[in-house]
Amino acid sequence: MSLENINRALVSHDLVQDLKWNADLRREFEDDQAAVLDRYDLTPAERQAIEERDFRTLYDLGFHPYLGAQFARILFANNKSGATSAVQMLLASIRGESSPQTPGTGPR
């Protein structure tokens, strides 16, 4: 997860930036993640890691750590339950642990 291992060619970087800055795209991503992911030329490994919320694999592929934190907030908190739950989910994924439950989200 060092900065030297960042793969600037990962399309998932573009996805996260687009989600960060486009509220309409975030809403669409919440409603139909697959349709949004279909628009991006993700590698099969990137897409699977995103679908499985597997940040460890994303980092191993060269995902930028800063964008990982931003993506976790989009995926897990979405400004509904706060950044703390997003951080817990991110860390659990990196450690290979089962994700802790976010209040009000039900089983994952």
Q: What is the DSSP string of 18-86?
A: HHHH-HHHHHHHHH-HHHHHHTS---HHHHHHHHTT-HHHHHHHT--HHHHHHHHIIIIITTTS-HHHH
Is residue 26, in this structure, part of any structural domain at all?
yes
Is residue 106, in this structure, part of any structural domain at all?
no
Tokens describing residue 62: 């060269």
Provide the 10 A C-beta neighbour count for residue 67.
20
Is residue 102, in this structure, part of any structural domain at all?
no
- Domain extent, residue 9, equals 3-95
Is residue 105, in this structure, part of any structural domain at all?
no
Is the pLDDT score of 12 beyond 90?
yes
Q: What are the angstrom distances between the C-alpha of 105 and each of 21, 25, 62, 100, 101?
A: 24, 21, 29, 11, 7
The backbone torsions φ and ψ at residue 83, rounded to the nearest 5 degrees and listed phi first, read -70, -30
Give per-residue pLDDT as tens, 50-87. 999 999 999 999 999 888 888 988 887 655 555 567 67
Number of domains making up the chain? 1
Instruction: Tell me the whole-structure pTM to 2 decimals.
Output: 0.71
How does residue 93 score in pLDDT terms, banded at 50, 70 and 90? confident
Is residue 68, in this structure, part of any structural domain at all?
yes
Is residue 61, in this structure, part of any structural domain at all?
yes
Query: Does 17 or 106 have the greater pLDDT score?
Result: 17
